[in-house]
């Protein structure tokens, strides 16, 4: 590390690692009272000299956050009376970033005007509507897929019924055989 402490890329001394200094409340209050006394003294001396200095005092008070309503009134007057620099007075420039947007009234809003959708939004809406229509037709059994599904289900039902009949017949045959065996054992 260099002998003179930390330095940045430009060769200036860095503030890192040093003690921090804070202004206490009493010092701030004393400074404010001092400024107030100076302002009162200037008022007593003459109004003509104090106009420029009051503006400076008002801006200093705004930094502290303790500005009064009279200082804010004088600062707004200063903004209105501000002289234009250069060609500003001759040319009116409309800066879109500077303009204040006015709030629209509910009565001024045009409700009849239909909003125009972008191509993607329109295609997405058409896609969802088509899917709804297809699902509705599918539920009613009017699509080819639905008809194929129903035919497949009918075949499966027939097969299951046939299998159930076979099982019943086999069960009956087994019962009959057991009865025959039991009756033949009983006779012997």
Per-residue pLDDT tens digits for 33-59: 999 999 999 899 875 444 444 444 444
Judge whether 69 lies within some domain. no
Judge whether 19 lies within some domain. no
pLDDT tens-digit series, residues 70-108: 445 555 555 555 666 666 666 766 666 776 777 777 777
Per the structure, how many domains does the chain have? 2
Judge whether 14 lies within some domain. no
Q: Which of the given ranges, 16-25, 91-100, 154-163, has the highest pLDDT on average?
A: 154-163
User: Which of these ranges, 1-15, 147-161, 165-179, has the smallest mean pLDDT?
Assistant: 1-15
Answer whether residue 134 shows pLDDT above 80.
yes
Range of the domain at 153: 119-187
Mean pLDDT (the chain, rounded):
77
CA distance linking residue 74 with residue 52, whole number of Å: 11
pLDDT tens-digit series, residues 137-149: 988 988 899 999 9
Judge whether 151 lies within some domain. yes
Judge whether 112 lies within some domain. no
Q: Note the pLDDT of residue 166.
A: 96
Would you say 14 and 7 are in contact if contact means Cβ atoms under 8 Å apart? Answer: yes
CB atoms within 10 A of CB 35: 15
DSSP secondary structure string, 83-117? PPPTTTTTS----TTTSPPPPPPGGGS-SSSPPPP
Would you say 73 and 48 are in contact if contact means Cβ atoms under 8 Å apart? Answer: no
Judge whether 71 lies within some domain. no
Judge whether 107 lies within some domain. no
Nearest to 58 by CA among 48, 40, 71: 71
Q: Note the pLDDT of residue 172.
A: 94
């Amino acid at each position: 590390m260099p002998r003179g402490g930390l330095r940045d890329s430009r060769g200036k001394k860095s503030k890192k690692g040093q003690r921090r200094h804070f202004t206490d409340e009493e010092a701030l209050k004393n400074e404010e009272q001092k400024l107030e006394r100076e302002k009162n003294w200037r008022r007593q001396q003459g109004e003509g000299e104090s106009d420029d200095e009051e503006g400076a005092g008002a801006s200093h008070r705004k930094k502290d956050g303790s500005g009064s309503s009279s200082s804010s009134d004088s600062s707004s007057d200063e903004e209105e009376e501000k002289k234009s620099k250069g060609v500003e007075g001759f040319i009116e420039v409309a800066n879109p970033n500077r303009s204040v947007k006015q709030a629209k009234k509910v009565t001024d809003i045009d409700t009849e005007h239909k909003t125009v959708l972008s191509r993607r939004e329109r295609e997405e809406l058409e896609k969802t509507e088509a899917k709804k229509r297809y699902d509705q037709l599918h539920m009613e059994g009017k699509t080819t897929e639905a008809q194929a599904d129903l035919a497949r289900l009918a075949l499966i039902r027939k097969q299951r019924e046939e299998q159930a009949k076979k099982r019943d017949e086999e069960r009956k045959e087994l019962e009959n055989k057991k009865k025959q065996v039991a009756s033949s054992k009983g006779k012997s």
